[in-house]
Amino acid sequence: VVYYDARDVLIVYKPTPATDAVYHLQCLDPEDGSVRWTLPADGIPGRWLNLGDMAVRCGDSFLVKVDLYQFARVSTSGELLGTFKL
């Protein structure tokens, strides 16, 4: 779990145990656990490798830590809005 509040729960997982499996960011409904959306890390620098540290809500999107200096901005509907470095 990288983020949760009364509206959303964000988790990161690998769908298979394969060493080359891509991590996925997934949003769950906190009431019933249903999946709202899933975003695979394909093409995202850092590929969610160091996730687990943090994600924060910023209005209608989330800022998700991807690696030491890289963040991704993801909409609350699961669209990748961009990446940036600090």
Q: pLDDT tens across 26-36, in order?
A: 999 999 999 99
pLDDT band at 67 (very low <50, low <70, confident <90, very high): confident
Question: Is residue 37 within 8 Å of 77, Cβ to Cβ?
Answer: yes
Percent of the chain with pLDDT over 90: 50
pLDDT at residue number 53: 63
Query: Please, what is the average pLDDT of the chain?
Result: 86
Report the alpha-carbon distance of residue 55 to residue 65 in Å, rounded.
Answer: 6
Report the alpha-carbon distance of residue 64 to residue 2 in Å, rounded.
Answer: 8
Structure pTM?
A: 0.85
Q: C-alpha distances in angstroms, 80 versus 19, 31, 51, 53, 73?
A: 24, 24, 16, 19, 6
pLDDT at residue number 4: 94
Return the structure tokens found at 31: 């009431």
pLDDT tens digit sequence for 1-51: 889 999 999 998 888 998 888 888 999 999 999 999 999 887 665 555 555
